[in-house]
Amino acid sequence: MSKRGRVLRDPHMGPGLLIVEGKQYPFFMESIWRSEVPAKPGLVVSVDFDAQENIVGITAVPQRQLDAEKAASVQSGSRLRSTLLEGLSSKGGSFSHIAGTGLLLISWTFLAAVSIHLPLLGKLELTFWQILGYLNAGGISQISDVAATPDSGIFGFLAILVLAGPFLPYVWKDRRAWLGGLLPLAFMIFIAFCIDADFHVAFGLQAAGMNVPVPTSISSAITMGLGTYLSAFLAVCFAVLSTRQWVGSRRVQEAEVPRSQQLAA
């Protein structure tokens, strides 16, 4: 049976003394010392005992082995702490993601995102989801030619995928998954560009003499509503949190590479 101990007294000046699990044992190097390294106070050793708990051999533990064990212990402790923190943060993080995504979905489907002023139709309030439907049907400028509640089509499908973006780290363990939180903001910016391009096309048609009911400028045509402000706020929050988590995961990865190289050496 082998146990870890430590030399307390130099055996070159009489009987040596070592301590194992709180018990002290005298020893002589000539009979049981099995290492080329000389015994000295503080040296960590591996002590072999027989069935009667008598010392039958003492071997010095190499410093490299001690360093490796210490590094493994530190790494194991850090992994345990990170596992606990991830468990706590995942519960709180998943709740915040669910709440934020729920609010974002509500703002997209129930709150007025824009108020559009058209010469023939007057003021129309549209939710973000209705905007997706009109874009899928041909454009905001053709709002008088489509149904009151058009199908969102491919834009609606993309919106559903975008809402799932913040949850990507829960199913994909790559650090790039944290960037999924940028999708809501990127999607809203994309839709804003689509609206802007649609109105510019409509202005071109109006200038060409075609009968398209659009105002003289985009700024006078569209007024932002509560849904836009709330959606933008939530999307920015998702983007900021995701960026911070992505940067944090990169720092952890960069810190683990030198540590793994040291352990390999």
Amino acid 65 reads Q
pTM of the model: 0.56
How high is the pLDDT of residue 188? Answer: 95
Residue 47 and residue 53 in contact, taking contact as beta carbons nearer than 8 Å: no
Residue 170 and residue 94 in contact, taking contact as beta carbons nearer than 8 Å: yes
pLDDT score of 160 more than 90: yes
For the chain, the helix, strand and coil percentages under 3-state DSSP, each to the nearest 5: 60, 20, 20
Domain boundaries, the chain: 2-61, 69-264
CA distance 5 to 22: 9
Residue 21 and residue 10 in contact, taking contact as beta carbons nearer than 8 Å: no
**Residue 140's CB: how many other CB atoms inside 10 A?**
25
Q: Which residue has the higher pLDDT, 210 or 155?
A: 155
HSE-CB at 117 with a 13 A cutoff on CA atoms is 11
How high is the pLDDT of residue 88? Answer: 39
Three-state DSSP at 144 gives: helix
How high is the pLDDT of residue 108? Answer: 92
CA distance 229 to 192: 13
Q: What class has domain 2-61? A: mainly beta
How high is the pLDDT of residue 84? Answer: 43
Q: What is the pLDDT of residues 193-242, one digit of tens each?
A: 988 887 766 655 554 554 544 444 555 667 888 999 999 999 999 888 88
How high is the pLDDT of residue 263? Answer: 45
Tokens for 177, please give them. Answer: 């998954």
How high is the pLDDT of residue 264? Answer: 43
3-state secondary structure 167-205: HHHHCCCCHHHHHHHHHHHHHHHHHHHHHHHHHHHHHHH
Q: What is the pLDDT of residues 87-131, one digit of tens each?
A: 434 545 566 778 888 999 999 999 988 887 766 556 678 889 988
How high is the pLDDT of residue 107? Answer: 92
Residue 39's pLDDT band, with cuts at 50, 70 and 90, is confident
Q: Tell me which residue of 94, 93, 245 sits closest to 177, measured CA to CA.
A: 245
Q: Tell me which residue of 112, 99, 84, 66 sits closest to 230, measured CA to CA.
A: 112
Residue 153 and residue 168 in contact, taking contact as beta carbons nearer than 8 Å: no
pLDDT score of 165 more than 50: yes
Residue 28 and residue 11 in contact, taking contact as beta carbons nearer than 8 Å: yes
Amino acid 1 reads M
CA distance 174 to 260: 19
Residue 178 and residue 242 in contact, taking contact as beta carbons nearer than 8 Å: yes
CA distance 117 to 225: 13
Question: If residue 8 lies in a helix (H) or strand (E), which one and from where to where?
Answer: strand 2-9
Q: What is the largest CA-CA distance in the chain?
A: 113
